[in-house]
């Protein structure tokens, strides 16, 4: 028996639904099987994806929490539900790139696979109708979304997340090529890691495999029609849970 009940739907995104609960300081997130890419131009239902992303995100949030990264995560409930603290999401997608891939190589003369040292931090304005445009420092300042101190904190948290996840995945023979995170302000004004961290939002390469397509363990399998998407996410989940304690259930 859980100690909360679901309230109204607050928000439906491409991969998750967010519900109010009967407790003002508790929000429930349902991970869906819907897969989208290229700003939802490409869509599919992938049975089992929601549960895998919920579990992987829970394990990674708990790992990050143990390393001192403040997150919205409170616990899981069943296979597809995560309980989180309510946050005001900052409409900025923070991307860290350890290895060049994806849009970086489409937009700039940088070879796919090139090491980014130090890792590149890119910010995008989170707005699907605008296609999540790239944010320069001046554009971010013009939007007035963050004070300089908040922006510094956001970048510090993103680099801290990379500092934990990159060696963690490396120890599981996966290269964390790049990832996107979202952050939000709690009721008390603390900046927390929010949203999810999963193969939908990361690029992960299996370092045991040399072939450039075969090694992909993330949403690029869906974007590039490589097949085996859920199987790849399952492999990520298996490796991550083999190295982590069972995620806590929210009661
Ligand atoms: P990109 O190469 O398309 O800029 O993506 C960089 C990383 O961010 C990659 O791991 C995928 C992730 N990402 C999202 O999670 N959501 C998005 O909407 C986009 C564009 C990228
Ligand atoms: N997340 C975006 C979408 O669902 C873009 C992507 O991941 O390719 O369309």
pLDDT digits 0-9 by tens, 95-131: 999 999 999 999 999 999 999 999 999 999 999 999 9
Q: Is the CB of 103 inside a 6 Å radius of any atom of ligand 1? A: yes
C-alpha 219 to ligand 1 mean position (Å): 9
Contact in structure between 190 and 200 (CB atoms under 8 Å): no
Q: Which domains does the chain have, with CATH numbers?
A: 6-84 (3.30.200.20), 88-228 (3.30.470.20)
- Ligand 2 centroid to Cα of residue 17, in Å, is 16
CA nearest to 203, candidates 116, 127, 75: 116
Residue 23 CA to ligand 1 centre (angstroms): 33
Strand partners, 227: none
- Is any atom of ligand 1 closer than 6 Å to the C-beta of 132? yes
Q: Which pLDDT value is given to residue 2?
A: 61
Task: Record the pTM.
Answer: 0.97
Atom 16 (ligand 1) nearest CA: 201
pLDDT tens digits for range 135-160: 999 999 999 999 999 999 999 999 99
39 Cα distance to chain centroid: 16
Instruction: Measure CA 147 to chain center.
Output: 24
pLDDT for 165-199, tens place per residue?
A: 999 999 999 999 999 999 999 999 999 999 999 99
Contacts 24+ apart (CB under 8 A), 38-45: 38/223, 39/128, 39/131, 39/132, 40/14, 40/128, 42/222, 42/223, 44/222
pLDDT, mean over the chain: 97
Question: Does residue 14 carry a pLDDT above 60?
Answer: yes
Residue 251 has pLDDT above 90, yes or no: no
């Amino acid at each position: 028996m859980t100690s909360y009940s679901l309230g109204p739907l607050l928000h439906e995104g491409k991969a998750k639904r967010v519900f109010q609960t009967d407790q003002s300081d508790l929000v429930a997130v349902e991970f869906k099987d819907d897969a989208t890419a290229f700003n939802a131009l490409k869509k599919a239902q992938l049975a089992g994806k929601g549960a895998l992303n919920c579990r992987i995100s829970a394990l990674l949030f708990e790992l990050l929490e143990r390393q001192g990264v403040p997150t919205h995560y409170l616990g899981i409930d069943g296979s597809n539900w995560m309980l989180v603290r309510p946050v005001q999401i900052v409409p900025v997608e923070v991307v860290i790139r350890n290895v060049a891939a994806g849009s970086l190589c489409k937009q700039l003369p940088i070879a796919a696979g090139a090491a980014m040292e130090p890792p590149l931090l890119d910010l995008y304005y989170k707005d699907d109708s605008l296609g999540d445009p790239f944010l320069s420092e001046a554009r971010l300042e013009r939007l007035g979304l963050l004070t300089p101190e908040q922006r510094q904190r956001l970048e510090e948290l993103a680099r801290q997340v990379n500092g934990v996840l990159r060696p963690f995945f490396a120890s599981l023979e996966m290269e964390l090529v790049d990832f996107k995170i979202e952050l939000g302000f709690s009721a008390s004004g603390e900046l927390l890691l929010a949203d999810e961290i999963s193969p939908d939002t990361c690029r992960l390469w299996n370092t045991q495999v040399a072939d450039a397509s075969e090694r992909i363990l993330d949403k690029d399998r869906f974007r590039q029609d490589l097949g085996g998407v859920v199987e790849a996410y399952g492999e990520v989940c298996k490796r991550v849970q083999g190295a982590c304690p069972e995620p806590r259930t929210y009661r």
